[in-house]
Structure 1
Amino acid sequence: MGRLQPYLSDDYKLCATESVVIVEKNIARKVFLDIFNTDDKYGLVLLSKLNPIAPGIFE
Protein backbone atom coordinates (compact mmCIF):
# COMPACT_ATOMS: atom_id res chain seq x y z
CA MET A 1 0.00 0.00 0.00
CA GLY A 2 3.02 2.25 0.35
CA ARG A 3 2.00 5.89 0.25
CA LEU A 4 -1.66 5.18 1.08
CA GLN A 5 -0.98 3.29 4.33
CA PRO A 6 -1.20 6.37 6.62
CA TYR A 7 -4.71 7.11 5.31
CA LEU A 8 -6.24 3.61 5.59
CA SER A 9 -8.49 2.47 8.42
CA ASP A 10 -8.42 -1.05 9.87
CA ASP A 11 -11.37 -2.15 7.71
CA TYR A 12 -10.12 -1.23 4.21
CA LYS A 13 -10.51 -3.78 1.41
CA LEU A 14 -7.83 -4.76 -1.11
CA CYS A 15 -8.55 -6.40 -4.46
CA ALA A 16 -5.43 -7.29 -6.48
CA THR A 17 -6.02 -8.15 -10.15
CA GLU A 18 -4.30 -6.70 -13.22
CA SER A 19 -4.54 -3.47 -11.29
CA VAL A 20 -4.88 -2.81 -7.60
CA VAL A 21 -8.13 -1.64 -6.02
CA ILE A 22 -8.46 -0.33 -2.48
CA VAL A 23 -11.94 0.41 -1.14
CA GLU A 24 -11.83 2.95 1.67
CA LYS A 25 -14.44 5.59 2.45
CA ASN A 26 -13.23 9.11 1.55
CA ILE A 27 -9.68 7.94 0.68
CA ALA A 28 -9.37 10.53 -2.11
CA ARG A 29 -10.40 13.33 0.25
CA LYS A 30 -7.88 12.15 2.85
CA VAL A 31 -4.98 11.88 0.41
CA PHE A 32 -5.76 14.92 -1.76
CA LEU A 33 -7.16 17.32 0.83
CA ASP A 34 -5.94 20.41 -1.06
CA ILE A 35 -7.86 19.40 -4.21
CA PHE A 36 -11.13 18.73 -2.39
CA ASN A 37 -10.97 21.93 -0.34
CA THR A 38 -12.20 23.77 -3.44
CA ASP A 39 -14.67 21.25 -4.88
CA ASP A 40 -18.10 22.48 -5.96
CA LYS A 41 -21.39 21.96 -4.15
CA TYR A 42 -21.74 18.53 -5.80
CA GLY A 43 -18.29 17.36 -4.66
CA LEU A 44 -16.85 17.60 -8.18
CA VAL A 45 -13.26 18.66 -8.83
CA LEU A 46 -12.01 20.50 -11.92
CA LEU A 47 -9.95 18.24 -14.18
CA SER A 48 -7.46 21.10 -14.53
CA LYS A 49 -6.46 20.44 -10.90
CA LEU A 50 -5.39 16.88 -11.76
CA ASN A 51 -2.28 15.58 -13.49
CA PRO A 52 -3.28 13.35 -16.44
CA ILE A 53 -0.94 10.35 -16.87
CA ALA A 54 -2.98 8.27 -19.35
CA PRO A 55 -6.48 8.45 -20.89
CA GLY A 56 -8.91 8.47 -17.97
CA ILE A 57 -6.10 8.08 -15.41
CA PHE A 58 -5.03 10.96 -13.23
CA GLU A 59 -2.42 11.43 -10.55
Structure 2
Amino acid sequence: MTATPAPQWFKSSYSGGSGTECVECAHVANGIAIRDSKTAGGPTLTVASGAWQVWLQHLRSESR
Protein backbone atom coordinates (compact mmCIF):
# COMPACT_ATOMS: atom_id res chain seq x y z
CA MET A 1 0.00 0.00 0.00
CA THR A 2 1.33 3.45 -0.92
CA ALA A 3 1.34 6.12 1.77
CA THR A 4 -0.45 9.37 1.05
CA PRO A 5 2.12 12.18 0.89
CA ALA A 6 1.85 14.90 3.54
CA PRO A 7 0.21 18.10 2.26
CA GLN A 8 2.59 20.87 1.21
CA TRP A 9 1.14 23.90 3.03
CA PHE A 10 1.56 27.46 1.72
CA LYS A 11 0.43 30.79 3.13
CA SER A 12 -2.43 32.55 1.42
CA SER A 13 -1.43 35.72 -0.42
CA TYR A 14 -4.39 37.36 1.34
CA SER A 15 -3.03 36.70 4.84
CA GLY A 16 -2.11 39.74 6.90
CA GLY A 17 1.51 40.82 7.27
CA SER A 18 1.41 41.01 11.07
CA GLY A 19 1.40 37.22 11.48
CA THR A 20 -1.79 37.26 13.52
CA GLU A 21 -4.28 36.20 10.86
CA CYS A 22 -2.54 33.73 8.56
CA VAL A 23 -4.38 31.15 6.52
CA GLU A 24 -2.54 28.25 4.92
CA CYS A 25 -3.73 26.09 2.03
CA ALA A 26 -2.59 22.79 0.56
CA HIS A 27 -3.55 20.87 -2.56
CA VAL A 28 -4.93 17.46 -1.56
CA ALA A 29 -6.38 14.57 -3.55
CA ASN A 30 -10.00 15.69 -3.24
CA GLY A 31 -9.54 19.48 -3.37
CA ILE A 32 -7.96 22.17 -1.21
CA ALA A 33 -7.27 21.94 2.51
CA ILE A 34 -7.35 25.14 4.58
CA ARG A 35 -6.03 25.69 8.13
CA ASP A 36 -5.03 28.39 10.60
CA SER A 37 -1.24 28.62 10.52
CA LYS A 38 -1.13 29.43 14.24
CA THR A 39 -2.75 26.02 14.94
CA ALA A 40 -0.99 23.82 12.40
CA GLY A 41 -1.99 20.64 14.24
CA GLY A 42 -5.59 21.77 14.58
CA PRO A 43 -8.61 21.18 12.38
CA THR A 44 -8.60 21.67 8.63
CA LEU A 45 -11.36 22.44 6.18
CA THR A 46 -11.31 20.62 2.83
CA VAL A 47 -13.09 22.18 -0.13
CA ALA A 48 -13.76 20.32 -3.39
CA SER A 49 -11.73 21.61 -6.35
CA GLY A 50 -14.78 22.84 -8.28
CA ALA A 51 -16.15 24.77 -5.29
CA TRP A 52 -12.71 26.31 -4.69
CA GLN A 53 -12.57 27.55 -8.30
CA VAL A 54 -16.04 29.11 -8.05
CA TRP A 55 -15.07 30.83 -4.79
CA LEU A 56 -11.84 32.21 -6.31
CA GLN A 57 -13.77 33.55 -9.32
CA HIS A 58 -16.18 35.28 -6.95
CA LEU A 59 -13.32 36.86 -5.00
CA ARG A 60 -11.68 38.09 -8.18
CA SER A 61 -14.93 39.64 -9.44
CA GLU A 62 -15.53 41.37 -6.07
CA SER A 63 -12.05 42.90 -6.01
CA ARG A 64 -12.56 44.83 -9.25
TM-score by length of structure 2 reads 0.23
TM-score by length of structure 1 reads 0.24
Instruction: Name the one with the larger strand percent.
Output: 2
